[in-house]
Structure 1
Amino acid sequence: MKYFYILFIVGLLLIHTAQAQQLERITNSLPVFAASSNISAANGILTIGVFSDASTVNQNNLELIRTLKTWNSKLIKKAIPHKKIEVTALDDTNIAEFKGQIIWVIDGDSFSLEKIKIHTNNGVFTIGTQELAFENYLFATLIQENSASMRISEPLFGLTLRAL
Structure 2
Amino acid sequence: MTHKGFAYFLRVENVSSRDIESTVRIFIAPEQNQEDYRSWIEIDKFVAKPSPGKNVIYQNSKESSVIQKPAALEPNPERTQGESGCQCGWPYTLLLPRGNEEGMPYVMMVMLTDWNEDRVRESTCGSISFCGVTNQNQPYPDSRALGYPFDRPIAGIANTLITNPHMATRAFKIRHLGTEG
Name the TM-score, length of structure 2 as normaliser.
Answer: 0.27
Q: Kindly indicate which of the two structures has a greater share of residues assigned to strand.
A: 2
Larger-gyration structure (1/2): 1
Name the TM-score, length of structure 1 as normaliser.
Answer: 0.29
Q: Kindly indicate which of the two structures has a greater share of residues assigned to helix.
A: 1
Q: Say which structure, 1 or 2, has more relative contact order (CA 8 Å, 6+ apart).
A: 2
